[in-house]
């Protein structure tokens, strides 16, 4: 069910109400984590460094050999359009997370069942929970630093070290 206050999302070539975005459970992003995403935010209703974030997204996509079927300038335009369509839903002091999610899509055997070929591409806006986090900005947050490193640099591929920002 959609309402006038429903955010618009880009999903596989169309701008649709967010609740209409339904990704098949057999999508490789769900099955194997075979996906890439990037998130930035808005400041004063403007996307922060959208071109730099798109560049980082595409470096990660190249590393995983996922072709989104959309060139970077078009992805930037889509991202800006998703924001433009959702700006009327923001209050003056609110801002959004802006995220692109791309998975490899469905395996060939699942494409006929679910009626989609190619990558799954989603661009969305999500309201930043600034009011809920205000106390954390004022009073700080408790953190714990483990004594054991999770993955030492020596365990990473040299190629991944070049592409991670």
**Closest listed residue to residue 16, CA positions, set 72, 68, 76, 81:** 81
Distances (CA, A) of 93 to 44, 52, 127: 8, 25, 11
Domains located in the chain, CATH noted: 8-129 (3.30.470.10)
Tens digit of each residue's pLDDT (9 = 90 or more) over 79-88:
999 999 999 9
Distances (CA, A) of 158 to 2, 34, 63: 46, 20, 12
Residue 13, Cα to own-chain centre: how many angstroms?
15
Reduced to 3 states (helix: H, G, I; strand: E, B; else coil), residue 125 is strand
User: What letter does residue 88 receive in the DSSP assignment?
Assistant: G
Tens digit of each residue's pLDDT (9 = 90 or more) over 125-154:
999 988 888 888 888 888 888 888 777 767
Output the DSSP codes for 39-69. EEEEETTEETTHHHHHHHHHHHHHHHT---S
Please work out, in degrees rounded to the nearest 5, the angle formed at the alpha carbon of residue 105 by the alpha carbons of 33 and 16: 110
What pLDDT score was predicted for residue 113? 79
What pLDDT score was predicted for residue 156? 67
What pLDDT score was predicted for residue 157? 67
User: What letter does residue 141 receive in the DSSP assignment?
Assistant: -
pLDDT tens over the chain, length 165 residues: 445 689 999 999 999 999 999 998 889 999 999 999 999 999 999 999 999 999 999 999 999 999 999 999 999 999 999 999 999 999 998 999 999 999 999 887 777 777 778 899 999 999 998 888 888 888 888 888 888 877 776 776 666 555 444
What pLDDT score was predicted for residue 150? 74
**Closest listed residue to residue 128, CA positions, set 157, 101, 89, 73:** 89
Distances (CA, A) of 55 to 62, 76, 115, 158: 11, 10, 30, 19
The rounded distance, in Å, linking the Cα atoms of 80 and 82 is: 6
């Amino acid at each position: 069910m959609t309402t006038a206050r429903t955010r618009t999302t880009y999903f596989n070539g169309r701008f649709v109400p967010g609740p209409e975005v339904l990704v098949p459970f057999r999508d490789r992003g769900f099955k194997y984590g075979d996906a890439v995403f990037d998130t930035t935010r808005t400041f004063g209703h403007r996307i922060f460094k959208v071109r730099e974030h798109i560049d980082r997204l595409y470096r990660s996509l190249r590393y995983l050999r996922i072709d989104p079927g959309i060139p970077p300038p078009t992805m930037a335009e889509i991202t800006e359009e998703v924001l433009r369509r959702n700006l009327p839903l923001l209050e003056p002091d609110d801002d959004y997370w802006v995220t692109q999610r791309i998975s490899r899509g469905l395996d060939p055997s699942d494409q006929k069942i679910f009626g989609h070929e190619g990558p799954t591409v989603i661009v969305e806006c999500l309201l930043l929970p600034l009011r809920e986090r205000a106390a954390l900005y004022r009073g700080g947050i408790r953190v714990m630093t483990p004594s054991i490193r999770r993955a030492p640099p020596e365990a990473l591929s040299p190629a991944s070290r070049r592409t991670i920002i």
